[in-house]
Amino acid sequence: MAKKSVVNRNNKRRKIADKFRSKREKLREAISNVNISDEERWEASQEMQTLPRDSSPTRRRNRCKMCGRPRAYNRLTGLCRLHMRAATISGMVPGMHKASW
């Protein structure tokens, strides 16, 4: 089980990233636009740097929904390998079963 503080920090990053998403997209578009002047592009770049660091979506970490484990995360179910195995064995994941040969 991950520490509550780490899970809460990740949730906070998710909220901040959602809050600043539209502003970041506009600034990113302005920075990459070659049709505007260099000064406007520079100002957009400076404004992008003033945004909170955690507003970048790449600072988020995928975590297991049940325990908050950051490693061995499965995007399909949102679970780590340990909880994925338990869910598969109990038949909670359709189409998956424990391998046996």
One CATH from 3.10.20.30, 2.160.10.10, 1.10.760.10, 4.10.830.10 for 63-101: 4.10.830.10
Spelled out in words, what is the top-level CATH class assigned to the domain 1-61?
mainly alpha
pLDDT tier at 19, thresholds 50, 70, 90: very high
**What are phi and psi for residue 64, nearest 5 degrees?**
-60, 135
Give the residues across from 73 on adjacent strands. 80
Contacts of 75 (CB under 8 A, 6+ apart): 62
Cα–Cα distance, 83 to 101 (Å, whole number): 22
Here the tokens at position 69 are 């484990």
- Please tell me the predicted confidence (pLDDT) of residue 93: 87
Q: Domain spans of the chain?
A: 1-61, 63-101
- Please tell me the predicted confidence (pLDDT) of residue 100: 80
Q: What digits encode the pLDDT tens for the residues 33-79?
A: 999 999 999 999 999 999 999 999 999 999 999 999 999 999 999 99
State the Cα angle at 37 between 33 and 41, rounded to 5°: 55
